[in-house]
Amino acid sequence: RKEVEQDPGPFNVPEGATVAFNCTYSNSASQSFFWYRQDCRKEPKLLMSVYSSGNEDGRFTAQLNRASQYISLLIRDSKLSDSATYLCVVTPGYTPLVFGKGTRLSVIA
């Protein structure tokens, strides 16, 4: 089983839609969780950290389920500018980070 697994997509959704991605991880000792966003031919950029209690940042909500070893990202009211690849990242509490292969999202007008 791969350390971090994501559905590669692509997810093609209309503007205004709500879309959710899941990511599973194999290392139960993982302590820190993140979602990064990577635009085409650009470097990854931190979107948000994922906390045990869940956290929200505007239209974005991240959840962690330790029992089932997955994290999720929910995007509400999708914008064209949300089109990107979303990378799930976990770490056992110290670097280095372990990256998933990413989920591609295309928001369509």
Partner 1 sequence: SAVISQKPSRDICQRGTSLTIQCQVDSQVTMMFWYRQQPGQSLTLIATANQGSEATYESGFVIDKFPISRPNLTFSTLTVSNMSPEDSSIYLCSVETAEENTIYFGEGSWLTVV
Stretch that binds partner 1, among 20-28, 52-60, 67-75, 100-108 (CB under 8 A): 100-108
Q: Hey, what's the torsion of the CAs at 95, 36, 3, 7, to 10 degrees?
A: 180
Select from 99, 103, 105, 107 the one that contacts partner 1 (CB under 8 A).
99
**Sequence-separated (6 or more) residues with CB below 8 Å from residue 16:** 77, 78
Does 45 interact with partner 1 (rule: CB under 8 A)? yes
Q: Is 81 helix (H, G, I), strand (E, B) or coil?
A: helix
Residues that bind partner 1 (CB under 8 A): 32, 34, 41-46, 49, 87, 95-97, 99-102
